[in-house]
Amino acid sequence: MQRSFIAKNPSVLIFLACLALFTLMVTIFSEGFGVGMISTSFVKTLGKTLCLCLIAVAMDLIWGFTGILSLGHFAFFGLGGYMIGMWLMYERTRLIVVESLSQTEIPPTRSEIVDAIGNQIFGVVGANEFPLIWAFADSLFLQLVLVVLVPGLLALVFGWLAFRSRVTGVYLSILTQAMTLALALYLFQNDSGLRGNNGLSGLQNLPGVDASQDVVSLWFLWASAVALGLGYLLAAWVVSGKFGSVIRGIRDNEARVRFLGYSVETYKLMIFTLTACIAAIAGALYYPQAGIINPAEIAPIASIYLAVWVAIGGRGRLYGAVIGAAFVSLLSTWFTGGQAPNIPLGFYTIKWVDWWLVLLGLSFVAVTLFAPKGMGGLVDYWTQRRSPNRHGANLGPNDGAMREQEASK
Amino acid sequence: MSTLLEVSGVSVTFDGFRAINNLSFQIGEAELRAVIGPNGAGKTTFMDIVTGKTRPDEGRVIWGEKSVSLLKMSEAKIAQAGIGRKFQKPTVFEDQTVQENLLMALKKPRGWLPVLSYRAKPEDLDKVAELATEIGLVDELTRKSGELSHGQKQWLEIGMLLAQEPRLLLVDEPAAGMTPQEREHTTDLLLEAAKTRAVVVVEHDMEFVRRLNCKVTVLHEGSVLAEGSLDHVTSNQEVIDVYLGR
């Protein structure tokens, strides 16, 4: 019990080493700094994948460890992306506007510049004035604060309302899904102030940076790797101590935790808000690499994918979530990118672009039924961790409780 | 002896069914009390009311020398005030080790911030080891509690209750499904606990109640039918009719 944190959690060190090695290899083989075997667009894909791994870690915290199946975490991810996107778009447009107005004889006033920026950004939705929510868009610092603050506050308010009323299980999942759907529908409106279904675009261009995308993509890859490493470390630390005991207790048997004197609602709220903030940071790093964000990203289906990744990776173990997210999202890129060869059956040709979702759905069902430990469970063959024999009984009465096959002796 | 818990005139109705009907109950500090009664007499509902799980329709539940009402408090707050509860089915955290279970129950700040920064100190581990010795699980500290036998889980749960250092212990059928030797150990644990705190034991098994050798409260249809020593209540004609004479 008195051993150090790393000694108790050797998987953390292994994970960080793998992550560092991965980042180094990509850098060496990249076009920006290395021998150019990995294209810049693939570097971006890998960087984005790291961000998806980070939100998967958050999902594992909330679902795998606390037993709350949230189907709304991509709302926080998207909001984080919007917050950083606002600054990127504002600042870049400002530079262009200042550049073009500098040709005029009379130097433009400040309000003229702001008006011109507004015109540029909101022309597509038939407006030219800045809505109130863009008030801080000219400050990188404030906008970075908002990356965490806005999704964090939303999670805090939503969670407070939901947990206080003791909504649990599938009802809570539906509520979170309704939240993300409502947010997406709101953002789809042109007068939401965030350019409706056009979303924010051109985010890959960092204002005031002359470096090529080859280099910028690597910066973001590094930033994403650092964020994933720190996020993983934080999550591992949170679940390692007594807090981890309490949230796992909540997952398996929430009433018992309550009678021990722990305020279950507060704990749920804290972990919900924390994971929302992690998701938001992941989103803020993801969308500058994707280049564009629009409300479709927040649609409930994205959050359901997230649950699928964590389930396929193996919930209740952080590296499982990372493996699941990386594997499934990269595979998904491969299949939907048209790179997977079609299978001609004579009478019908299986085109993976169409059939990939069916394959994903089938593997999700198969994993849940036959290998509940997911891909992370493969590690158990190596470390010889075994499942307890509980004659099919779960480890607690709650909906989200650990199942016999997921647990270890 | 001062009163620790006073329940007076409490009634609760579930869908028209009166589970508790004008129930009054008192227990002092360092007292052992057995509550018996046929199925549906309201024994478990009584515990639910005291621990805050069920809100009564009317009546008062007063706690401690400051006479605070428990009716407005959440389950967690009631537990923090010093009421521990053991469920009928052994409920321990099966995915966690015996040590983790006991550490979680240990009387420490329950807020999320102190818990987040909490790291077990040597004296906490000593305390846990001491408790584990008392409940006979000192060799099982690093085992997942889900692996324990039924009786061991019951003891672990009692150990967790003791770790909470409650002033009132509510114990629901502690001896259910235990072997005779295990029962004896459980009796000893409860008698020992009752020396320093109030203990309420809900039990079906008369033999077990006899061994506890304490004041008995008989519940029937949600209210108190008789109260006194076991011999006194078992000679009561009404009690014989509704419970013993079946």
Find out whether B3 and B28 touch, Cβ atoms under 8 Å.
yes
Q: Which residue has the higher pLDDT, A236 or A388?
A: A236
Distance, first Cα to last Cα, chain B: 37
Across the range B191-198, mean pLDDT stands at 89
Q: Is the pLDDT of residue A2 over 70?
A: no
Chain A residue numbers with beta carbons less than 8 Å from the beta carbon of B119 are 241
Shortest Cα distance, chain B CAs vs residue A311, angstroms: 19
Mean pLDDT of A329-335: 90
A183, A150 Cβ separation under 8 angstroms: no
pLDDT in the model for residue B154:
86
The string of DSSP letters for A116-172 reads HHHHHHHGGGT--S--GGGTTTT-HHHHHHHHHHHHHHHHHHHHHHHHHTT--HHHH
Neighbours of A97 (CB within 10 A): 21
CB contact under 8 A, A388 and B147: yes
CB atoms within 10 A of CB A228: 27
Coil, strand or helix: which one is B41?
coil
Identity of the residue in A241, A266, A396 whose CB atom sits nearest the CB atom of B118? A241
A56 touching chain B per CB within 8 A? no
pLDDT of the residue at A234: 95
| Cβ contacts of A255 on chain B, cutoff 8 Å | 53, 75, 91
Residue pair A103/A170 in contact by the 8 Å Cβ criterion: no
Report the SS3 class of residue B226: strand
Tell me whether A395 touches chain B (CB under 8 Å): yes
Q: Report the C-alpha gap between A247 and A230 in whole angstroms.
A: 21
In tens, the pLDDT along B72-88 reads: 889 899 999 999 998 87
The pLDDT value recorded for residue A1 is 44
CB contact under 8 A, A264 and B76: yes
Contact yes or no for A165/A224 (Cβ under 8 A): no
For residue A261, what is the nearest residue in chain B, using CA coordinates?
B76
Q: What pLDDT sits at residue A310?
A: 94
3-class SS at A265?
Answer: helix
Task: State whether the Cα torsion A394-A395-A398-A399 is positive or negative.
Answer: negative
Farthest CA pair distance, chain B: 59
In tens, the pLDDT along A188-212 reads 998 888 998 899 998 998 988 888 8
From A396, A153, A166, select the one nearest A265 (Cα to Cα): A166
Q: What is the pLDDT of residues B146-161, one digit of tens each?
A: 888 888 888 899 899 9
Position A55 scores a pLDDT of: 96
Mean pLDDT (whole number) for A345-354: 84
pLDDT digits (tens, 9 = 90+) for A246-277: 999 999 999 889 999 999 999 999 999 999 99
CB A264 within 8 A of CB B104: no
Smallest CA-to-CA distance from A278 within A231, A223, A229, A326 is with A231
Task: Find which of A260, A266, A273, A387 to mutate to test the B interface (most B CBs within 10 Å of its CB).
Answer: A260
Instruction: Report the candidate in B145, B153, B103 with the shortest Cα–Cα distance to residue B126.
Output: B103
Q: Does A241 touch chain B (CB under 8 A)?
A: yes
What would the mean pLDDT of B46-52 be, rounded to a whole number?
Answer: 90
Contact A1 B91 (CB under 8 A): no
What pLDDT score was predicted for residue B44? 86
What pLDDT is recorded for position B244? 58
Rounded to whole angstroms, how far apart are CA atoms A9 and B162? 30
Q: How confident is the model at residue A47 (pLDDT cuts 50, 70, 90)?
A: very high
Range of the domain at B214: 3-244
Strands (E), B29-181: 32-36, 58-63, 68-69, 83-86, 168-172
Report d(CA B209, CA A161) in Å as an integer: 45
CA gap A44, A50 in Å, rounded = 10
pLDDT score at B236? 84
Rounded CA separation A327/B112 (Å): 34
Chain A residues with CB-CB distance to B145 below 8 A: none
Residue pair A72/A180 in contact (Cβ under 8 Å)? The answer is yes
In B, minimum Cα distance to A409 occurs at B144
Alpha-carbon distance of A159 to A62, in angstroms, equals: 12
Rounded distance between C-alpha atoms, residue A375 and residue A386, angstroms: 15
Structure tokens at B161: 């209750």
Between residues 188 and 227 of chain A, which touch chain B (CB distance below 8 Å)?
Answer: none
SS3 state of residue A195 = coil
The predicted pLDDT at position B231 comes to 86
One-letter identity of residue A119: N
- pLDDT confidence of A395, banded at 50, 70, 90? confident
**What mean pLDDT do residues B101-114 have?**
89
For the cut 90, the answer to whether the pLDDT of residue A230 exceeds it is yes
Residue A270 with chain B: CB contacts under 8 Å = 112
CA B162-A398-B119 angle, 5° bins = 45
Which tokens is A236 given? 């591992």
For residue range A141-175, list pLDDT tens digits in order: 999 999 999 999 999 999 999 999 998 889 999 99
Residue ranges covered by each domain of chain A: 5-296
The number of beta carbons lying within 10 Å of the beta carbon of residue A9 is 18
Measured between beta carbons, which residues in chain A are less than 8 angstroms from residue B79? Answer: 258-261
Statement: residue A359 has pLDDT above 50: yes
Of B203, B143, B153, the closest CA to residue B182 belongs to: B153
Q: Is the per-residue pLDDT at B182 higher than 70? A: yes
∠B108-B110-B114 over CA atoms, to 5°? Answer: 80
- A347: phi then psi, degrees, rounded to nearest 5: -85, -20
**Considering its fold, how many domains does chain B have in total?**
1
Residue of A nearest to B149 (CA): A390
Count of positions (residues) in chain A: 409
Q: H helices of A253-384, where?
A: 254-259, 264-290, 300-313, 318-336, 352-370, 378-383
Nearest chain A CA: its distance from B57 CA (Å): 20
**Angle of helix A213-240 relative to helix A40-59, nearest 10 degrees?**
20
CA–CA distance, B240 with B162 (Å, rounded to integer): 35
ipTM of predicted complex: 0.87
Tell me whether residues A248 and B96 touch, CB distance under 8 A: yes
CA of B79 vs chain A CAs: smallest distance (Å): 5
Question: Residues of B with CB below 8 A from A395's CB?
Answer: 93-95, 146
Which of A61, A245, A268, A402 is the mutation pick for testing B, counting most B CBs within 10 A? A245
The encoded tokens of residue B129 equal 């080891």
The pLDDT of residue A249 is: 93
Contact B119, B86 (CB under 8 A): no
Is residue A55 within 8 Å of A312, Cβ to Cβ?
Answer: no
From A64's Cα to the closest Cα of chain B, the distance in A is 13
B122 sits in which H/E element: helix B122-134
Q: How confident is the model at residue A343 (pLDDT cuts 50, 70, 90)?
A: confident
Exposed e or buried b per residue across A315-350, where buried means at least 16 C-beta atoms within 10 angstroms of its C-beta: bbbbbbbbbbbbebbebbeebeeeebeeeeeeeeee
CB of A390 less than 8 A from some CB of B:
yes
Looking at chain A, which residue has its C-alpha nearest residue B112? Answer: A267
Verify whether the Cβ–Cβ distance B104 to A264 is below 8 Å: no
Backbone phi and psi for residue B83, each to the nearest 5 degrees, phi listed first: -115, 120
CATH number of the domain within which B7 lies: 3.40.50.300
Tell me, what's the pLDDT at B148? 87
Contact B164 A260 (CB under 8 A): yes
Q: Please give the structure tokens belonging to residue A278.
A: 């992690």
Nearest-by-Cβ selection for A248 from B84, B91, B95: B95
Nearest CB to A409: which of B51, B119, B147? B147
As a whole number of angstroms, the distance between CA A293 and CA A271 comes to: 26
- What is the average pLDDT score of chain A? 90
Chain A residues closer than 8 Å to B87 by CB: 256
Contact B4/B61 with Cβ under 8 angstroms?
no
Q: What residue in A sits closest to B81 (Cα-Cα)?
A: A261
Instruction: Give the whole-number percent of chain B exceeding pLDDT 90.
Output: 20
What proportion of chain A, given as a percentage, has pLDDT over 70? 99
Inter-chain touch A261–B76, beta carbons under 8 Å: yes
Q: Does A249 touch chain B (CB under 8 A)?
A: yes
Burial of A382 (0-12, 13-18, 19+ CB in 10 A): exposed
- pLDDT confidence of A53, banded at 50, 70, 90? very high
Which tokens sit at A396? 């607690």
B85, B93, B115: residue with CB nearest A259: B85
Listing from the earlier edge strand, what are the strands of the sheet with B68-69?
A: B17-28, B3-14, B58-63, B68-69
Give pLDDT tens digits for A63-80: 999 999 999 999 999 999
Cβ atoms of A291 and A90 closer than 8 Å: no
For residue B30, give how far its alpha carbon lies from the nearest alpha carbon of chain A (Å): 21
CB contact under 8 A, A261 and B87: no
Contact (CB<8Å) A260/B79: yes
Q: In terms of CA atoms, which chain A residue is nearest residue B52? A: A259
Q: Do A396 and B51 touch (CB under 8 A)?
A: no
pLDDT band at A3 (very low <50, low <70, confident <90, very high): low
Comparison of pLDDT for B178 and A51, the residue scoring more: A51
Tokens matching residue B204 = 């079906």
| pLDDT of residue A407 exceeding 90 | no
